[in-house]
Amino acid sequence: MSDLEERDRRHVWHPFTQMSDWMDSHPIVIERGEGNYLIDTEGNRYLDGISSMWVNLHGHDHPKIRGAIHAQLDRLAHSTLLGLASVPSIEVAERLVGLAPEGLTRCFFSDNGSTAMEVALKLAFQYWQQRGDPDSVRRTRFVALRGAYHGDTLGAVSVGGITSFHDAFRPLTFPVLRAENSYCYRCPYGLEHPSCELHCTESLEKILARHGDEVAAVLVEPVIQAPAGMIPFPEGWLSRARALCDDAGTLLITDEVATGFGRTGRIFACEHEGVTPDLMALAKGMTAGFLPLAATLVSEEIFDAFLGPVQAGRQFFHGHSYSGNALACAATLANLEVFDEERVLERVARTSLHLGQRLAGLEALPCVGDVRRRGLMAGVELVRDRDTKAHFDPADRIAHLVCSAMRRRGVILRPLGDTVVVMPPLSVTEAEIDHLTGALAECIAEVTGT
């Protein structure tokens, strides 16, 4: 055991990790990054197949972003947005509003996906309390989907729907109305798309018909539910959800924390169906994986509900010490310039198609039940029996073992239950995709004995 490993075991508490298991392991200690690769203290190179938890876009050492951070550091590292403005935050807000779906005009900064969603929840709630309609104060409830994940702060946990993540904290949270998602592979209605005609939206429709005048907002991850296991929504689902919200007179909050900034082939996933939400949460890819930064974009109508004399107390009493951090904003501006200069979305269109073709080859393996993908976001669900779709015993940790085997082949991946998540940087090459998918086929066969 190296000195660094020993010091890690003594002092570092790792997220989403059973530390008794970690203490018995031989952890990889990352020392540096080059392009799409992470390099450990022993000099081993690993393709970053999960973009360092879905944040890295253009590689770990992109010179333009690194240079922008250095240049900003020579001017200012940070100043508060409480009572002051700053040049980089103004420029980022303007750029984001220019890129966002039409109608989103205001940008509230925070520092990660959980806080961006926490801001969205609080804004939606306070908006209805201050709107001025006699019945608007009744809108205090939220609708979220089965399998939802919106972060780990308590408001975000309240609307989350992943049992293993959230159940321990239920006594601390508020109740939500839970609508069905679109897990087509395991459709709870026993139907198939497209002949189902989006029957899964009926659940949301019924909830809004029954409780619509109580609902402050409906929350969705547009196009694909990422932490639920990379579960894509069928085409038309998001636009129908928007229409149902309009019919019920409630707000739509889209969580673009994972899907934003090119992951699905568009800058924002909402663009696939021409949907404008009332509030949109952004994080992860904002700075291309260099620094923490998040934002919640809202409509002018929502913003206006918070205006009034100071003594009326209508302002949004929420903030973060590092909101709109200058270094992170500089990274974001450089990130957006990279999209333009390197025609990133055009490249993603090619590489995502290649990824889809290579992942399709895994379907020949007996233990691969479903392969799902939107853009460069993909999941490979492993099953004990393909005919019955029977799960593996959770104690077997099959997907975890596959990801562990991948590390011996120089690729970093992470599982979500029995689903292996594949989410490489937008800068991934076709050769790197070939290596990743080839190694994944070998590791699935090795671990499952098929």
Q: Is the pLDDT of residue 13 over 90?
A: yes
Q: Is the pLDDT of residue 138 over 70?
A: yes
pLDDT in tens, 26-49: 899 999 999 999 999 999 999 999
d(CA 293, CA 335): 12
Token reading at 26: 């031989």
Please tell me the predicted confidence (pLDDT) of residue 389.
96
d(CA 353, CA 125): 41
402 SS3 class: helix
pLDDT in tens, 231-253: 999 999 999 999 999 999 999 99
Looking at the chain, which residues constitute the CATH 3.40.640.10 domain(s)? 66-341
Please tell me the predicted confidence (pLDDT) of residue 2.
87
C-alpha pair distances (Å), 218 with each of 84, 117, 125, 242: 33, 12, 12, 9
Q: Does domain 3-58+343-448 fall into CATH 3.90.1150.10? A: yes
The share of the chain scoring above pLDDT 70, in percent, equals: 100
Average pLDDT over residues 389-411: 97
Domain 66-341 architecture = 3-Layer(aba) Sandwich (3.40)
Lowest-confidence pick of 16-20, 125-129, 282-286, 341-345: 16-20
- Mean pLDDT score across all residues of the chain: 96
Please tell me the predicted confidence (pLDDT) of residue 36.
98
Residue of 407, 399, 400 whose CA lies nearest to 383: 399
Spell out the residues 6+ positions from residue 52 whose beta carbon is closer than 8 angstroms to its own. Answer: 38, 60, 289
pTM: 0.96
d(CA 69, CA 88): 11
pLDDT in tens, 256-303: 999 999 999 999 999 999 999 999 999 999 999 999 999 999 999 999
Looking at the chain, which residues constitute the CATH 3.90.1150.10 domain(s)? 3-58+343-448
Q: Is the pLDDT of residue 1 over 80?
A: no
pLDDT in tens, 368-384: 999 999 999 999 999 99
Please tell me the predicted confidence (pLDDT) of residue 450.
85
State the number of CA atoms in the 13 A half-sphere of 41 facing the CB: 9
Residue of 427, 423, 375, 106 whose CA lies nearest to 267: 375
